[in-house]
Copies of this chain bind each other. A is one copy, B any other.
Amino acid sequence: MSSASHLNGSRERPAGLSKNEKLVWDALAASPDPLKAYEILDQLKDCGVRAPMTVYRALDGLESKGHVHKLEGLNAFVLCNHEGPHMVQSFLVCESCSAVDELTMIAVEADIVDAVHAANFQMNNARLEIKGVCKDCDAH
């Protein structure tokens, strides 16, 4: 019914990415935590990326292809962690160590979709950002 796994477990880079999208994807894949746009920019200074625009453009492309999610509450970005498209993206954000897990909650998603539908709302997408303390930090 629910499962959590660390983002970024070394994964295959998807096909069909442009040069800059590959660079940004690799930067995100190499980080255990979500990265901010300007953090990505810093990391890619070596690769010749100089301007924020370059990073934001690549992030836009990756987001539109479903490979990346933005955590609005952190102004940060993470690789997408699941297979097919979901209506609800759910994230566990640890306020202690900053780690972020993407959580899959099939049953809850269905309930949300139902409740939203009952309110006569045509849902396009949803994002659930959960803040708290992860199990590692909770055990001190």
Contact = CB atoms under 8 A, between A and B. Distances in A.
A132 to B, nearest CB: 4
A17 interface: no
Given A103-B119, A119-B2, A124 B112 contact: no
A122 B133 contact: yes
B121 A126 contact: no
29 contacts: A1-B118, A2-B115, A2-B116, A2-B118, A4-B121, A73-B127, A88-B128, A92-B119, A95-B124, A103-B115, A103-B116, A108-B112, A108-B115, A111-B111, A112-B128, A116-B130, A120-B134, A120-B135, A120-B138, A122-B132, A122-B133, A122-B135, A123-B130, A124-B131, A124-B133, A125-B130, A125-B132, A126-B130, A128-B128
Interface size class of chain A, counting residues whose CB lies under 8 Å from the partner chain: 35 or more
Contacts of A111: 105, 107-108, 111
Nearest to A96: B122
A26 interface: no
A105 B128 CA distance: 13
Interface in A52-77: 72-73
